[in-house]
Amino acid sequence: MKFITVDTYEKLSRQAANIISAQVIIKPDSVLGLATGSSPVGTYKQLIEWYRKGDIDFSRVTTVNLDEYVGLSGKDEQSYRYFMNKNLFEHVNIDLANTFVPNGCAVDLAGEGEQYDAHIKALGGIDMQLLGIGHDGHIGFNEPDDVFVKSTHVVELHESTVKANSRFFANEQEVPRLAITMGMVSIMQAKKILLIASGKQKRDILEKAFYGPITPRIPASILQLHPDITVIYSEE
Ligand code: GLP
């Protein structure tokens, strides 16, 4: 594991974007696993800037996102599909048909999960997975549990996650209680993982996740077993 500490969020974003753009330059048809939340916003901004300068080409890239709220369509401003379109996809030359986010409105959510995993497998797996980390150690929406859940599945969000994510909604009541998230197999089978976290309030969970015991009570701790993971942490 490489653990990089920087002082500012801007540096974190530039370094993460550097790593992702190197991946796309070396393998133009990369399958990128992407994340939502506040942490990757700066990284996406930087990638857009470099795309505009002609330094990075997304025309052959495929993306698979980690998760989506159950019941929100892609048109809903709080959905992760909407977030991805607004924060990255609409600003670069990616073919939207090659961008995948779990469908939180699928009638058969279990079937959607199976299809999502099969699709990732058919793509040849994820070349590089970008991750954030929740305050309780969740990755994607894999919440603390008695077991690591392997496949893409529906999850009931914990109260603390609902609270943390309510900052994107008008109020806490509007936050969906269910989400569909990639499970640990697709994440752990990514060839490379890049986890970003910013702010002193994330330091404690990073320490537990990367230097403590591997336990499903801290879902991100499983990443200690990954052979090629880079963590970038900014104090700001
Ligand atoms: C959400 C997302 C996660 C993300 C986490 C942390 O719960 N499902 O993928 O890592 O938030 O978000 P932030 O980066 O805003 O702290």
What digits encode the pLDDT tens for the residues 116-172? 999 999 999 999 999 999 999 999 999 999 999 999 999 999 999 999 999 999 999
Buried b (16+ CB within 10 A) or exposed e, 127-144: bbbbbbbbebbbbbbbbb
Position 69 scores a pLDDT of: 98
What digits encode the pLDDT tens for the residues 194-223? 999 999 999 999 999 999 999 999 999 999
- 38 alpha carbon – ligand 1 mean position (Å): 7
Q: How far is CA 42 from the centre of its chain?
A: 14
- 180 alpha carbon – ligand 1 mean position (Å): 14
Q: Is 102 in the pocket of ligand 1 (CB under 6 A)?
A: no
What digits encode the pLDDT tens for the residues 34-55? 999 999 999 999 999 999 999 9
Decide: 1 and 33 in contact? Cβ < 8 Å: no
Q: What is the residue with the minimal CA distance to atom 9 of ligand 1?
A: 140
226 — pLDDT class (breaks 50, 70, 90): very high
> Which atom of ligand 1 is nearest to 132's Cα?
10
Position 14 scores a pLDDT of: 98
Between the CA atoms of 148, 2, 56 and 197, what dihedral angle is there, to the nearest 10 degrees? Answer: 60
Q: What is the residue with the minimal CA distance to atom 11 of ligand 1?
A: 37
Position 86 scores a pLDDT of: 98
What digits encode the pLDDT tens for the residues 52-70? 999 999 999 999 999 999 9
Q: Is 133 in the pocket of ligand 1 (CB under 6 A)?
A: yes
Q: Is 38 in the pocket of ligand 1 (CB under 6 A)?
A: yes
CA distance 136 to 143: 8
Q: Among 9, 39, 131, 166, which residue has the most ligand 1 atoms within 8 Å of its CB, making it the best to mutate?
A: 39
- 106 alpha carbon – ligand 1 mean position (Å): 22
2 — pLDDT class (breaks 50, 70, 90): very high
Position 74 scores a pLDDT of: 96
Position 218 scores a pLDDT of: 98
Share of the chain above pLDDT 70, in %: 100
Please provide the average confidence, as pLDDT, over all residues in the chain.
Answer: 97
Q: What is the mean pLDDT of residues 181-189?
A: 98
Position 168 scores a pLDDT of: 92
Q: Which positions are annotated as active-site residues?
A: 67, 136, 138, 143
SS3 of residue 111 by DSSP:
helix
Position 95 scores a pLDDT of: 98
Position 149 scores a pLDDT of: 97
